[in-house]
Structure 1
Amino acid sequence: MKPLLEALHIKKKFQTLTAVDDISLHVAPGECLALLGPNGAGKTTTVEILEGLQSPDSGTVKLFGQDMTPRSKRDLMQRVGVMLQETNLYKKLTVKETLSLFRSFFKQGLDVQQAIQIVQLEDKQNARLEELSGGQKQRAFLACALVNEPELLFLDEPTTGLDPQSRRMIWDLLDKEKGKGRGILLTTHYMDEAEYLADRVAIVDHGKIITEGSPEELIRQYCGEQVLSFSFEDTDARHENLLEENLAWFKQVKKVQNRYEFIAQNLVSAIHDLTQATSKLSLKLAGIEMRRSTLEDVFLTLTGRSIRDA
């Protein structure tokens, strides 16, 4: 199956800053690729190049097997949908009027009423954009991205600032669209969103893709399956020195506020070692818990910082 989107060795530099440094990626039909990374990592510039908003200094971008050039871009973008993180549209227009405007930009696509039904805004179609809640606005903007029945969707932080119910509704809508064979390129700072929607994840830092794979593959490769998290009743820094001397794996522990987290390959053995060492040293554990490893742990392992902190 030919990729809908293929970027090969794209580079972009702004004066002395290299924003994109030899990035290659692809998106196949029915596949969601999540592009993750901290602010300043090069995600936005990469996506703008892929959308045709910027030109790379070198490298190539192909949409639907064709090179994206100034001459071909207009026709190629007829087959693409874009949903920006912040969309500023005329707020006095109704949902139906807004979608009618967007539909007029394309040679073919959905009937406006069909687009409204997909995002479940039938009861708000005559409401002005300024009257909608945050979740309703995002669904209206998603309808604008879908109105031309695109083969490829670009989604930039589609659920930022939304409540959990609205986020889940948009996830379900996007999952259905992916099931229709649409390719999706997603940027997000929500790790649970990437795990739910993405078939593959590419983590970008300093303008490079530092790793790529399915969420499950990356978690297994970099983190194992389980995380042991624990804390002590007091926060005496001397605990760390004592535990380093008595626990072979303590140097691999990451401190998150007042808690310690260890990616355990053998959870039972790690708990046994921890309780033995704390008993020997007369240290009092305030809490101990086990949780499944996540993409957040992968990001922290690879970059040394939380994606939220970044």
Structure 2
Amino acid sequence: MAHTIEVTGLRKRYGDVRAVDGVTFAVEEGEFFGILGPNGAGKTTALEIIEGLREPDEGEVSVLGMSPWPRNPALLPRIGVQLQASSFFERLTAREQLQTFGSLYGVPAGKADTMLELVGLDDKADVQVEKLSGGQAQRLSIACALVHDPEVVFLDEPTAALDPQARRNLWDVLREISRQGRTVVLTTHYMDEAEVLCDRVAIMDAGRILRLGPPAVLVRGLDAPSRISIPSGALTVEDAQALPGADQAADDGVSLTVTTRDPSAVIAAIAARDALDGVQIHGATLEDVFLQVTGREYRA
């Protein structure tokens, strides 16, 4: 497939800090691509360079076959950008916000209602933006980025600080954007979000890409044991430890958890003891991959 975005040897320094340090990757047409990393990993700086908001110190960036820097008037109508913090015009309603943003691109005023429906805000069309909830404001921000029908959409931590319900609602919006054939680039530090939404992810830390690939492939490449849990009391810890294939067993008073690299043997042994009621099997996740390559220390 054609590459919509190509990034080669990208670098950006602030004094002694290497915010982006030799980043190289490509995003295919129609792909949902995630950039993951802890705070300070450089993902937002990299995204802003690709969007044309910052000038790189070194490297090359191509978006839809064009360089985004210096600001390229031919490229701007073809990309949509949702920043970490969005500012709206005061006292305008949701519909008026979209009509105003759309007018900058020559979009008919009637397109606003179509976009409000797409992001599930059609019932908030006449509500001033100051009265929208955090999740509603985020959805409106995404609608503003899409109102001119861009080919490529950049989303910088769109679900940050949202409650679980608002996050899930926004995921539905992002899936619909992807289904429409747009290329989407997302930065996030929510691993479950990336695992659900993204075709491929790049895990960044200290300005560098440490892992790159489909989430499922990265998870399968992690040499991590499975965890099998059953209700506490179904087996003793000693009996669980003696199961074929069991590496470790622990009981916290709620669940008995067996760690194993041979889950099929453990499950078969638990079934033979008629103790399968309430069984849960937990394999490795993208979060496990993330923690393995970025470490577990606290990031401010």
- Separation (CA, whole Å) in 2 of partners of 1:223 and 1:92: 54
Contact 2:39/2:299 (<8 A) preserved = no
Tell me: CA distance 1:262–1:66, structure 2 relative to 1, closer, same or farther (3 Å): farther
Residue identity opposite 1:301 in structure 2: Q
Q: Could you tell me which residue of structure 1 aligns to residue 239 of structure 2?
A: none
Q: Could you tell me which residue of structure 2 aligns to residue 89 of structure 1?
A: 88
Q: Counterparts of 1:30-41 in structure 2 under 5 Å?
A: 30-41=30-41
Residue identity opposite 1:266 in structure 2: D
Q: Could you tell me which residue of structure 2 aligns to residue 256 of structure 1?
A: none
- Separation (CA, whole Å) in 2 of partners of 1:228 and 1:170: 32
- Separation (CA, whole Å) in 1 of partners of 2:229 and 2:293: 19
Contact 1:78/1:107 (<8 A) preserved = no
1:155-200 Cα offsets, whole Å, 9 max, x none, are 1111122222221121111111111110111011211111111000
Q: Could you tell me which residue of structure 2 aligns to residue 239 of structure 1?
A: none
- Separation (CA, whole Å) in 2 of partners of 1:74 and 1:262: 59
- Separation (CA, whole Å) in 1 of partners of 2:80 and 2:51: 9
Q: Which ranges of structure 2 fall in alignment gaps of 5 or more residues? A: 231-245, 249-256, 269-278
- Separation (CA, whole Å) in 2 of partners of 1:201 and 1:291: 22
- Separation (CA, whole Å) in 1 of partners of 2:178 and 2:95: 24
Q: Counterparts of 1:95-134 in structure 2 under 5 Å?
A: 95-108=94-107, 111-134=111-134
Q: Could you tell me which residue of structure 1 aligns to residue 7 of structure 2?
A: 7
Q: Could you tell me which residue of structure 1 aligns to residue 168 of structure 2?
A: 168
- Separation (CA, whole Å) in 2 of partners of 1:270 and 1:19: 46
1:213-259 Cα offsets, whole Å, 9 max, x none, are 111001000145724689xxxxxxxxxxxxxxxxx978xxxxxxxxx
How far did 1:44 drift? 1.5
2:295 corresponds to 1:301:
no
How far did 1:29 drift? 2.1
1:43-73 Cα offsets, whole Å, 9 max, x none, are 1111111111111111111010122332x61
Tell me: CA distance 1:289–1:121, structure 2 relative to 1, closer, same or farther (3 Å): closer
1:85-132 Cα offsets, whole Å, 9 max, x none, are 221223411101111111022145881221112112111111101111
Q: Could you tell me which residue of structure 1 aligns to residue 263 of structure 2?
A: 267
Contact 1:12/1:56 (<8 A) preserved = yes
2:204 corresponds to 1:201:
no
Contact 1:10/1:60 (<8 A) preserved = yes
Q: Percent identity?
A: 43
- Separation (CA, whole Å) in 1 of partners of 2:74 and 2:94: 26
Q: Counterparts of 1:18-29 in structure 2 under 5 Å?
A: 18-29=18-29
Contact 1:115/1:143 (<8 A) preserved = yes
SS of aligned partner of 1:75: coil
Q: 2:282 aligns with which of 285, 288, 291?
A: 291
Contact 1:41/1:206 (<8 A) preserved = yes
Range moving further from structure 2, 210-219 or 9-18 = 9-18
How far did 1:146 drift? 0.7
Q: Counterparts of 1:133-148 in structure 2 under 5 Å?
A: 133-148=133-148
- Separation (CA, whole Å) in 2 of partners of 1:107 and 1:225: 55
Residue identity opposite 1:103 in structure 2: G
SS of aligned partner of 1:22: strand
- Separation (CA, whole Å) in 2 of partners of 1:121 and 1:271: 47
What's the TM-score, normalizing by structure 1? 0.78
Tell me: CA distance 1:16–1:249, structure 2 relative to 1, closer, same or farther (3 Å): farther
- Separation (CA, whole Å) in 1 of partners of 2:259 and 2:47: 33
- Separation (CA, whole Å) in 1 of partners of 2:124 and 2:12: 42
How far did 1:265 drift? 2.9
- Separation (CA, whole Å) in 1 of partners of 2:115 and 2:25: 30
Q: Which ranges of structure 1 fall in alignment gaps of 5 or more residues? A: 231-247, 251-260, 273-287
Contact 2:247/2:260 (<8 A) preserved = no
- Separation (CA, whole Å) in 1 of partners of 2:79 and 2:35: 18
SS of aligned partner of 1:154: strand
Residue identity opposite 1:38 in structure 2: P
SS of aligned partner of 1:4: strand
